[in-house]
Amino acid sequence: MRIHTLDDLLRAVKDRPRKRLVVACANDAHTLEAVNAAVASGLVEAILVGDETLMKKTCRDLGLPEGRFRMVHAPTDAEAAARAVAMVRSGEGDLLMKGLLSTDKYMKAILNKEEGLLDPGAILSHVTVMEHPGHPKLLIAGDVAVIPEPDFREKLAILGYLVNTARALGIELPKVAVLAASEQVQPKLRSSAEAALLAKMADRGQIQGALVDGPMALDVAVDPESARIKGIGGPVVGDADCLLFPFLEAGNVFYKTCTKLGGAEVAAVVAGARVPCVLSSRGDSPRTKLSSIALAALLA
């Protein structure tokens, strides 16, 4: 079944066996409200790792039933991150979520060489599923938050995560646009040259399970009329499912423009670890947090 909207995503996950969500440092109201909504909606079961006294007090203050969650005491944020990662690593959880701790401590626990969740040679990347009111279908984008200037190997990994996510959403043959400033191949621009290389690799079967084209400007990737005016054709042109950005700043500006000015709603996870990892921000809307938990559960 193809998932066309974020509401479809929530419904699809509800129909599946519940995954176990482990939340690192679940001490704050923002995190507990989001996790409670996910549990109440039937998306996941939740294990809260943090200061148990504080978590119970916050539940009482919010009117949340403490019995809805399993709580594991870890008095500091660093201990909570390490304990949560250890629980996932040992098989007690299927996905991980960041609570009230800094991103660097969360990522440090995931990346720990001896006790983390990253296998040798694996690459972490951020994957976003976006529902924009001005666009007819979901867009899967990366990387907008983790890899500042991806090299070619990292772009191959990002492309793989985008395609895997698209396929999990029911898109049998995802269409991937490798973005650059222009659809004209410009050898002096690394983003343009590498986009052309990725497209050629797909043409020759070195990248399978997706249609890949690039370099491609954003307008040509998502707007059939722009492509028609420019005289550009191809199966990806004007109908991309996935957007592979050349570097983080471009992707991040796109993400924030769409969410803050364009009314887009998103779900997002960090891919590449042993399990999907939700990297939520206090500034994220409750809908974003709930949708991100659902996306992680779908991918787990």
pLDDT tens digit sequence for 149-166? 999 999 999 999 999 999
ω into residue 215 within 30 of 0, thus cis? yes
pLDDT exceeds cutoff 90 at 112 = yes
Is domain 125-260 annotated with CATH 3.40.718.10?
A: yes
Evaluate whether 176 touches 210 at the Cβ level (below 8 Å): yes
CATH architecture of the domain with residue range 6-120: 3-Layer(aba) Sandwich (3.40)
> Where would I find the H helices in the chain?
6-14, 29-40, 52-62, 77-89, 103-111, 152-168, 190-203, 218-222, 224-230, 248-260, 286-299
- The pLDDT-based confidence of 84 (bands split at 50, 70, 90) is very high
- The pLDDT-based confidence of 291 (bands split at 50, 70, 90) is very high
Residue 54: both structure tokens together: 């504080």
pLDDT tens digit sequence for 39-83? 999 999 999 999 999 999 999 999 998 889 999 999 999 999 999
CA–CA distance, 55 with 3 (Å, rounded to integer)? 35
Q: What is the mean pLDDT of the chain?
A: 94
ω into residue 143 within 30 of 0, thus cis? yes
pLDDT for 66 equals: 81
pLDDT tens digit sequence for 210-246? 999 999 999 999 999 999 999 999 999 999 999 999 9
Domain with CATH 3.40.718.10 in the chain: 6-120, 125-260
CA–CA distance, 251 with 94 (Å, rounded to integer)? 28
- The pLDDT-based confidence of 284 (bands split at 50, 70, 90) is confident
pLDDT exceeds cutoff 80 at 283 = no
Helical (H) or strand (E) element with 243: strand 242-244
pTM: 0.93
Evaluate whether 184 touches 196 at the Cβ level (below 8 Å): no
- Read off the DSSP letter of residue 63: T
pLDDT exceeds cutoff 90 at 281 = no
